[in-house]
Amino acid sequence: MRIRVAVNGYGTIGKRVADAVNRQSDMTLVGVAKTRPSFEARRAVEKGYRLYVTGGGSRDEFEAAGLPVAGGLDDLLRDADIVVDAAPDKVGAENRAIYARAGKPVIFQGGEKANVAEASFNALGNYDACRGKRSLRVVSCNTTGLARAAAVFRARWGVEHWEVTLVRRASDPAETKRGPINGILPTFQLPSHHGPDVQTIFPGLPIATTAVVVPTTLMHVHVNHLRLERAPSGPAEVLDALRATPRFHLFARWEHVDGTPQVMEYARDRGIGHNDMMENVVWEDGLRLEGRDLYFFQAIHQESIVVPENIDAIRAVFDAAKDGPASIAQTDRALGLPPPRAA
Amino acid sequence: MRIRVAVNGYGTIGKRVADAVNRQSDMTLVGVAKTRPSFEARRAVEKGYRLYVTGGGSRDEFEAAGLPVAGGLDDLLRDADIVVDAAPDKVGAENRAIYARAGKPVIFQGGEKANVAEASFNALGNYDACRGKRSLRVVSCNTTGLARAAAVFRARWGVEHWEVTLVRRASDPAETKRGPINGILPTFQLPSHHGPDVQTIFPGLPIATTAVVVPTTLMHVHVNHLRLERAPSGPAEVLDALRATPRFHLFARWEHVDGTPQVMEYARDRGIGHNDMMENVVWEDGLRLEGRDLYFFQAIHQESIVVPENIDAIRAVFDAAKDGPASIAQTDRALGLPPPRAA
């Protein structure tokens, strides 16, 4: 029996989650709901996805655009076992009553407050604790990247202290109304909200985050300094551990990847859905160990990193995999992500 | 008796230092030396500066462009008491023999290695230790910004530990051959060279720096986390101390300065030479104190922050001011920088 999945909201995250659901052998995409016609709605129809009208949108508007409509959000929910809410930030919380009325479990995104769902979710971080919940919140892109790294460092060496500067992209590539295009904007929340958000996955994790926004669209970059509880034997031990962990992608020096532009060029060459980079990207050259002090950079593709996490969150709700690692392996195989290299 | 100053190299730094020298009542600008005609050479002539040919440039080329030439570098040095070397990075070291042969003291820039000069210089940091030296190196823009801050924090509360992420501008506004224009580049030197460079001013200062390059031309931004030895009574004590220090400019929340674009718009409105911002820029809103832990952002205008330091370095060489604070006050008054607000 496949899990029947509805996707409500068809923007940056929704369209990717829909495609990812569509590739899982244990799931069926019932359809996607959108408020207004757009190139993305057209593309959904071209792919054969059933299109539903949501959020006060008008069926007439879609039909005038030549896009067939299968129904409204209630129709979509009726035929689904679970809904992934990929509405804009804060709209998910407004949608909660609708999902409750339909009696369907739901996966929310990280733009919602933590209390929108029974638990916040990260596949490497807390899959087990999320089994059987009726609502989960997949944490945001930056938090997902940090939570994945936290899972590795906590388990292997322990984290005494972790400081991160998040160098954040100003807008996504297709956004044209946000800036800056030349300038650096400090985030005046000090420390930033990302640390507490990681703590929704790892309560009490000693992490402090600070953020700036910079004029790029490609990826975020995290500048990390951790003091570990136990010293790794050397940087190779850390790199081996990351290589052995799913959803980490390492670049070697000889690959000549100076920064995020080449990372995304690699992703375009690789050609996984939307040319995405769903892994935490780490440079072998960009990692330094001094005793228990670990410095490293990681790059985070804000548009796609949460996509596999949404798939695993669906499985966690139905307790449909043996465990977290099994779900991750199944998700990543279906998405075409390379398996980790055994340590 | 005015100090007669030669400026060798007339790019981003040289043209600004020449203007600044020209505004000091105790200095005379003998002339400026340049390798090739350009809009900047034309502007020097328009301002009445004597133009000399340097670095293998051709007198004919200048004259063909209609720019009168007063002589070569040797002629310029002969008439000067001191030379400010503002040649491109590393060329200063090559010029050292020329200055030695001419028997003239020299101020180098931060693009040179520390051993180019008898001492590295920062006016707030180590003016006294630099009096009477025959050669000084004004440290680079980022190092100058950090050294100014270090001078305040060391003296008032002591620094137990200091971690900085430098978010660096990719190129200067008039540069057209450097990137990136969309992307974030980690600096794979971990920690970066900036920490050791600050230690040329404050030996043993416990500072670790990490850097990324981002697509902006306006300013650098430093994301600072210090652990102080003694806790300030509150953030107001820190802000008051910065306000009472020359070459710090604070922005209040009500000024609505989101980031570096508004800082530079303020600088354009203020209209000090080249619309520069020679001070460390600190946001009152962008500073947080938790016990002895201080988080704050500062923005650094890479093109101009070292300009007043060059003037003070000249005075240090000739021991021509009562002390560092006197030189700083004299420099800043002549440049039109506002005086600090008494604490």
Judged by CB atoms closer than 8 Å, whether chains meet at B214 and A299 is answered as: no
At B343, the pLDDT band (50, 70, 90 cuts) reads low
Mean pLDDT by groups of 10 residues along chain A of 343 residues:
96 98 98 97 97 94 96 98 97 97 98 98 98 98 98 98 97 95 96 97 97 98 98 98 98 96 96 95 97 97 98 98 98 96 73
Amino acid, single-letter form, for residue A274: H
- Specify the length of chain A in residues: 343
Contacts of B219 in chain A (CB under 8 A): 183-184
A97's CB contacts (< 8 A; 6+ apart) are: none
Q: What is the pLDDT, as a whole number, of residue B146?
A: 98
Judged by CB atoms closer than 8 Å, whether chains meet at A167 and B185 is answered as: no
Average pLDDT of chain B to the nearest whole number: 97
SS3 at position A228: strand
Q: Which residue from A82, A117, A76 is spatially nearest to A96, judged by alpha carbons? A: A117
Task: Output the CA angle A123-A127-A132, nearest 5 degrees.
Answer: 130
Confirm if A94 and A73 have CB atoms less than 8 A apart: no
Contacts of A165 in chain B (CB under 8 A): 165, 167, 210, 223
Which tokens go with A204? 């009490």
Which tokens go with A70? 């299968």
Tell me the count of A-B CB pairs closer than 8 A.
128
* DSSP count for chain A of H helices, then E strands: 12, 15
Q: pLDDT per residue over A53-109, tens digit each?
A: 999 889 999 999 999 999 999 999 999 999 999 999 999 999 999 999 999 999 999
| Residue ranges of domains in chain A | 3-139+306-335, 141-300
Report strand pairing: A220-228 vs A159-169.
antiparallel
DSSP state letter for A103? T
Q: Which residue from A6, A193, A178, A148 is spatially nearest to A81, judged by alpha carbons? A: A6
Contacts of B285 in chain A (CB under 8 A): 188
Is residue B66 predicted with pLDDT exceeding 70? yes
- CATH class entry, domain A3-139+306-335: alpha beta
Q: Name the one residue in this structure whose structure tokens are 């001013």.
A: B201
At B38, the pLDDT band (50, 70, 90 cuts) reads very high
Spatial distance between the Cα atoms of B12 and B340, rounded to a whole number of angstroms: 27
Give the gap in angstroms from C-alpha B276 to the nearest C-alpha of chain A.
16
Question: Which residue of chain B comes nearest to A288, CA vs CA?
Answer: B190
Q: Which residue from B309, B282, B84, B121 is spatially nearest to B197, judged by alpha carbons? A: B121
Report strand pairing: A119-121 vs A135-138.
parallel
Spatial distance between the Cα atoms of A170 and A182, rounded to a whole number of angstroms: 10
DSSP-assigned states of every residue in A236-248: HHHHHHHHTSTTE
Closest CB to A259 among B163, B169, B185: B185
Active-site choice (B83, B141, B263, B264): B141
Q: Which of the residues A161, A190, A302 would you substitute to probe the B interface, choosing the one with the greatest number of B C-beta atoms within 10 Å?
A: A190
Judged by CB atoms closer than 8 Å, whether chains meet at A167 and B184 is answered as: yes
B95's CB contacts (< 8 A; 6+ apart) are: B8, B85, B87
Rounded alpha-carbon distances, angstroms, from residue A329 to A291, A332, B44: 33, 5, 66
Task: Give yes or no: B141 in active site.
Answer: yes
Please say whether the dihedral angle defined by the alpha carbons of residues B124, B129, B133 and B136, taken in this order, is positive or negative: negative
Is residue B1 predicted with pLDDT exceeding 90? no
SS3 per residue for chain B: CCEEEEEECCCHHHHHHHHHHHCCCCEEEEEEEECCCCHHHHHHHHCCCCEEECCCCCHHHHHHCCCCCCEEHHHHHHCCCEEEECCCCCHHHHHHHHHHHHCCCEEECCCCCHHHCCEEECHHHHHHHHCCCCEEEECCHHHHHHHHHHHHHHHHCCEEEEEEEEEEECCCCCCCCCCCCCCCEECCCCCCCHHHHHHCCCCCCCEEEEEEEECCCCCEEEEEEEEECCCCCCHHHHHHHHHCCCCEEEECHHHCCCCHHHHHHHHHHHCCHHHCCCCEEEEEEEEEEECCEEEEEEEECCCCCCHHHHHHHHHHHHCCCCCHHHHHHHHHHHHCCCCCCCC
Percent of chain A with pLDDT over 90: 98
Instruction: Tell me which of A305-319, B289-303, B329-343 is least confident.
Output: B329-343
Spatial distance between the Cα atoms of A328 and A145, rounded to a whole number of angstroms: 15
CATH 3.30.360.10 assigned to B141-300: yes
Residue A67 parent element (H or E) = none
- Specify the length of chain B in residues: 343
Spatial distance between the Cα atoms of A28 and A311, rounded to a whole number of angstroms: 12
Which tokens go with A230? 């136990």
SS3 at position A34: strand
Q: pLDDT per residue over B222-279, tens digit each?
A: 999 999 999 999 999 999 999 999 999 999 999 999 999 999 999 999 999 899 999 9
Mean pLDDT of the region B48-55: 96
Judged by CB atoms closer than 8 Å, whether chains meet at A182 and B210 is answered as: no
Q: What is the pLDDT, as a whole number, of residue A343?
A: 61
Is residue B70 predicted with pLDDT exceeding 70? yes
Residues of A that are catalytic: 141
Give the gap in angstroms from C-alpha A284 to the nearest C-alpha of chain B.
9
Confirm if A137 and A148 have CB atoms less than 8 A apart: no
Spatial distance between the Cα atoms of A23 and A11, rounded to a whole number of angstroms: 18
Q: What is the pLDDT, as a whole number, of residue A312?
A: 98
Q: Which residue from B252, B178, B189, B160 is spatially nearest to B214, judged by alpha carbons? A: B178
Q: How many Cα atoms occupy the beta-carbon half-sphere of B275 within 13 Å?
A: 10
Give the gap in angstroms from C-alpha B175 to the nearest C-alpha of chain A.
14
